[in-house]
A = this chain, B = another copy of it.
Amino acid sequence: MPLRSNRPDSCPLCLGSEEEVLWRDGRCRVIDVRHADYPGYLRVIWNEHVAEMTDLDADDCAHLWRVLLGTERVLRRLMSPDKVNLASLGNMVPHLHWHVIPRYRDDAHFPDAIWAPPRRRGPSPHAVVHPPATLAAALRAELGGSGATAFA
């Protein structure tokens, strides 16, 4: 049975409270994870409560890829990471969302995934920290639309 334990009325990504939304449109949003070890770690969250990419129809799927790629492009441009990590896991919260993580050779886990035990203290000294307004403006320039409520 696919995971359905998080009903929309208790799913944190359906509630979406206390999120630092950098960009949004009618279908999805990009938030700043505000991870102490990973500046620029963003999350792309589909608004509707579905679990898997293949639960989306073709048009929604293409839209989400477009936002995901645009987010990667913005992070590469602003932060010049050594690598970008993309992941849709959702084992804890089976509500479709993507982790978009700029990685550096000397960050807390490199070259492991950030879910592995850390190898050193983070963040990387090479990670450029941008204020949310800068990230929001870059996402708006890349993806169009009016952007986030807070930074529009």
A: residues with CB less than 8 A from B are: 1-3, 51-54, 61, 65, 68-69, 72-73, 76, 80-92, 94, 103, 105, 110-113, 115-117
**Residues of A contacting B: mostly:** loop
Given contacts A54-B69, A61-B69, A72-B54, contact A82 B2 (CB under 8 A): yes
A3 to B107, CA, bound (A): 14
A120 to B89, CA, bound (A): 19
What is the CB-to-nearest-CB distance from A122 to chain B, in angstroms, rounded to a whole number? 14
Query: Is A87 a contact partner of B87 (Cβ separation < 8 A)?
Result: yes
Q: Which of A61, A112, A113 has the most chain B CB within a 10 Å cutoff?
A: A113
Given contacts A53-B69, A72-B52, A117-B117, contact A111 B91 (CB under 8 A): yes
